[in-house]
Structure 1
Amino acid sequence: MDYHSPYFFGYLIGALHLLGAIAAMHAVLTVRTAQGAIAWALSLLFIPYFTLIPYLVFGSRTFDAYIQARRQANREMHVAMADLNWRPWVDEALAARNSESYGALRAMPRLGRMPCLANNQVRLLIDGKATFDAIFAAIEQARDTVLVQFFIIHDDKLGRTLQALLLKKAAEGVNIYVLYDRVGSHALPASYSQKLRDGGVNIRAFATRRGWFNRFQVNFRNHRKIVVVDGVQGFLGGHNVGDEYLGEKPRLSPWRDTHVQVSGPVLACLQESFAEDWFWAARKLPPLILPDTYPEDGVLCQVLASGPADPQETCSLFFVEAIHSARERLWITSPYFIPDEAVAAALRLAVFRGVDVRILLPSRADHRIVYAASSLYAFEAVRAGVRMFRYGPGFLHQKVVLIDNEISAIGSANLDNRSFRLNFEVMLLTVDRAFADQVEAMLIHDFDQAREISAEDSQDTHRLQLLGMRIARLISPIL
């Protein structure tokens, strides 16, 4: 064939438009929002040369292959759980219904796949040192099984400390399972994993490109951070494994983040979330541990595991439900602020109801495009009456929600489209006045170190900066 012939280029252009038309039909049938379907369909029909590859990477909003794997994992877990004492799930779920505060979140029992359980103990871990001191101390005491999951693991001082500890426990006969996200940990050298593997540690990467139909899919990320030790101690929150989380990266230090330590029946839910992800990566289940007895008192907790394999947009709906449930106060901290229309409307309605709505964002950027888009959304929120703040001392990475006087949520989910629809996330919802008071004291200290964004800030922003913010907002659905 003459590749310089005009007929060849005609055939090539025709083939691209045919593929574009097929992809446009796929977008109309699968993209969840009408705006997204229209945007993809029109661009695929008229300029497929520029949009076919981006659609392959960014177009999908449901992770169908993971859905099938989760169903199989759940079937195998049900068999494994037949030999375990699973009564606390039922008994404590009944106790959770007696909470008036939890009752305000009327959609939560059906929105979350896991029940709200009583008799848990929770501990707030503020910043990296407290978090990793607690995690390492728990792993040091492990006797049976340790489950470790992070979005990012770096081969730096903190990463090697974790590696050495896991190798030590594996040598003692403890079962160690480590799961990291392949995209988030793209800089992790193969030698890091191989050393753990050689030492008896089960380590896997969570990769969304498994199988032919997923080979172009790099847009879904497993953003969860979970550690469970012997089924009795658990940790989740915003920290990953890297020196910057200890404040040792000058450009972003001091790093501000929050984790939570939890024990009690709700650890069964954390193990279930880890097991589903591990099954996707390894096609087999890790050990599941449930103690025979639990304390007779404690706080109500619910694990909310969300992701693109859910039948609905669980994370976005959680934020909408949390905002609508607030009667007096709604404080949120997030490193990124790219709300969808439902969340933005819920925030405006909360302001109209007289709720004290405050959102704390970082004043330093780790991703400049995301920061630009967040800034424009922040200006719009201020005009709607939402009080927006910029944290001053360093980079703010914590993900915390405080509702009224008893309800708090801490985990990995950001207030942005990626967490709403593209990432696998996990949050711990806690219903307890004493713990909420601790979260309130922590956030008051954070707000005291922040500057409030005013309406004049938008007016003082240079036109070129505003143009850049608007361009950043155009691509915000995939940020």
Structure 2
Amino acid sequence: MISHGSIPLLAHIVLAGGLTLRILYRKLEVNTALAWIVMLVAMPIAGPVLYLLFGDRSLGGRRLKLGRRIRTFYQNAYGVGGADEAPLQSIPEPFASLARSMTVESGFPVLARNGYAILTDPGEILDRMRRDIDAAQTSCRLEFYIVEPSGRVEAVLEAVRKAAARGVSCQILADDYGSKRFFRSPWPRRLSAAGVSIVRSLPVGVLKSVSKRSDLRNHRKLLICDRTVAYAGSFNLVDPALFKSDRHVGSWIDVMMRIEGEMVDALTCVFNADFLFEQKGADLGGALLRPLPLEAQKGRRPRGSALMQLLPSGPEMPHPTIHGFIVAAIFNARRRVRVVTPYFIPDQAVLLALTSAARRGVRVQIIVPERLDTRIGQYASQASYDDLLAAGVDIRRFTGGLLHTKAVLVDDDITIFGTVNMDLRSFYLNLELSLIMYDPRINNALGAVLDAYVGRSDVIDPDAWAARGSTQRFLENLMRLAAPLL
């Protein structure tokens, strides 16, 4: 006979046991699985609720099922896919083999005909975006984690409104959480009145969290005009002089790349897939996708010859491709590894790759901001410094603002550039977008940007760091515990 008092305990055992079995069948990393199991057992109500909200990385079965199909549709429509091995002949091993494996994973091969310009000044970035939107004749597509309608950004949004008013097909896909100020402002109504199609990416809501994890975010930053020019990188559509000025971390420092050539179509494939998933009423279950306009490219392709490969990543992909590529690239470094990222919370695989590279004589340098916009991120990032410094890694802290650029440079051969931070959220949870570039010229050009960062950075002295207070050590180790639960 079961007493009324034992019913809650029995319910807890059944629920915790069922979720524990789910965790075991997901084959998570051991520390992540153990952390969740302990939480489920120790916290009768909060543990299961937290797991249901944040434990799974799923975007929903529908998106996982149709993702590859939609990307493949546009890769074929734009002629992006294919098995052309010619560009790989100039890529040294083992990076050529890595490029082949990424082609299999993502469907995007190495593309050879690309021109580029590296932009570091926020005023120039916003001005060139505005000018390209003003020049657009057929389409204008924007996809950003954060759209903040203030300061110099308003001129860009006004350019989009005018483009739509003159008949250009304009779409804006903005993350529902990251761009909440945009959605609460008058701008969506103004833009919609002119004909701009505005869609919330990964909308947040209590009911939606039942079918998919509620804190997954679209972290991509992308602008495409007429399928002739695109912008990709770490720059959100914000005015860095105004954005989060109340956090007292200084102006946000970013890099954006303006791209022409074959890569523009590859980026368009990603945008189209993301937009169709979120657009209300899009018939994704029919016999054929409802494509966005397959307009012809205007003008001729540039004569650029930069080798680039697109790697979208996130829970919409079957495997954590960007994490595997970064780890493999660092393990295969022979001379130098340089990492710049605002949020540096590496897992054991990345930490092992960096420390082993340093111990075998590779010059490893990590550049991070002196101050972050979150205290949790600040302490969690610092938790790995002891191991890195002991291995001989050079850690620099940028003092000129919140350094938001994300890049990994390996030897003279590989550059990984885009939206990915060196943390578990970027590796596994966010929708991210990376450009992998097999071009020494790009490596050298971005290396010069990193040199400028180093000139405004303080080096962390191992002895001084070892002498920091016990309270700071405790907070670092405490915040580090939260990382596996991501």
Question: Structure 1 length normalisation: TM-score?
Answer: 0.91
**Cα shift readout 1:84-117 (whole Å, capped 9, x = no counterpart):** 5x2x6548x4321111347535223222511110
Say whether the 8 Å CA contact 1:278–1:286 is kept in structure 2. no
Pairing partner for 2:451 from 444, 450, 460: 444
Say whether the 8 Å CA contact 1:257–1:398 is kept in structure 2. yes
Say whether the 8 Å CA contact 2:88–2:96 is kept in structure 1. no
* Matched residue, 2:152: 158
* Matched residue, 2:276: 279
| Equivalent position SS for 2:236 | coil
Alignment of 1:138 onto 2:135: no
Aligned AA for 1:98?
Q
Aligned AA for 2:343?
Y
* Matched residue, 2:198: 203
Question: Cα gap change, 1:344/1:288 in structure 2, threshold over 3 Å: closer, same or farther?
Answer: farther
Q: Give the aligned length.
A: 468
| Equivalent position SS for 1:310 | coil
Pairing partner for 1:60 from 56, 70, 94: 56
**Cα shift readout 1:315-349 (whole Å, capped 9, x = no counterpart):** 21121022123211111100011111111111122
Alignment of 1:384 onto 2:391: yes
Shift of 1:275: 1.4
Match runs of 1:247-266 below 5 Å? 249=245, 251-266=248-263
* Matched residue, 1:99: 90
- 2: CA distance between counterparts of 1:339 and 1:157? 35
Shift of 1:238: 0.7
Shift of 1:297: 4.6
Match runs of 1:168-317 below 5 Å? 168-190=162-184, 191-207=186-202, 214-215=210-211, 217-244=213-240, 249=245, 251-282=248-279, 283=282, 284-289=290-295, 291=297, 294-295=301-302, 297-317=304-324
Pairing partner for 2:66 from 46, 57, 69: 69
Shift of 1:46: 4.2
- 2: CA distance between counterparts of 1:386 and 1:289? 49
- 2: CA distance between counterparts of 1:14 and 1:90? 56
Say whether the 8 Å CA contact 1:315–1:419 is kept in structure 2. no
* Matched residue, 1:374: 381
- 2: CA distance between counterparts of 1:450 and 1:71? 42
Aligned AA for 1:104?
F
- 1: CA distance between counterparts of 2:372 and 2:305? 39
- 1: CA distance between counterparts of 2:210 and 2:100? 32
Say whether the 8 Å CA contact 1:208–1:220 is kept in structure 2. no
| Equivalent position SS for 1:108 | helix
Q: Unaligned 5+ residue runs, structure 2?
A: 283-289
* Matched residue, 2:19: 23
- 2: CA distance between counterparts of 1:469 and 1:64? 34
* Matched residue, 1:415: 422
- 2: CA distance between counterparts of 1:62 and 1:216? 6
- 1: CA distance between counterparts of 2:7 and 2:227? 61
Aligned AA for 1:148?
L
Question: Cα gap change, 1:214/1:234 in structure 2, threshold over 3 Å: closer, same or farther?
Answer: farther
Question: Cα gap change, 1:197/1:245 in structure 2, threshold over 3 Å: closer, same or farther?
Answer: same
Aligned AA for 2:314?
G
Alignment of 1:35 onto 2:31: yes
Deviates more, 1:215-224 or 1:68-77: 68-77
Say whether the 8 Å CA contact 1:365–1:395 is kept in structure 2. yes
Deviates more, 1:406-415 or 1:201-210: 201-210
Aligned AA for 1:237?
G
- 2: CA distance between counterparts of 1:449 and 1:213? 43
Question: Cα gap change, 1:9/1:200 in structure 2, threshold over 3 Å: closer, same or farther?
Answer: farther
**Cα shift readout 1:257-303 (whole Å, capped 9, x = no counterpart):** 11111111111210111112112101354334563863455111111
Aligned AA for 2:424?
N
Q: Unaligned 5+ residue runs, structure 1?
A: 1-5
Alignment of 1:335 onto 2:326: no
* Matched residue, 1:350: 357
Question: Structure 2 length normalisation: TM-score?
Answer: 0.89
Question: Cα gap change, 1:140/1:217 in structure 2, threshold over 3 Å: closer, same or farther?
Answer: same
Q: CA RMSD in A?
A: 2.5
Aligned AA for 1:171?
A
Shift of 1:12: 3.4
* Matched residue, 2:441: 434
Aligned AA for 1:408?
T
Pairing partner for 2:463 from 452, 456, 465: 456
Identity percentage of aligned residues: 27
* Matched residue, 2:285: none
**Cα shift readout 1:28-67 (whole Å, capped 9, x = no counterpart):** 1125212222222233234332211110121013434321
Say whether the 8 Å CA contact 2:272–2:292 is kept in structure 1. yes
- 2: CA distance between counterparts of 1:199 and 1:406? 46
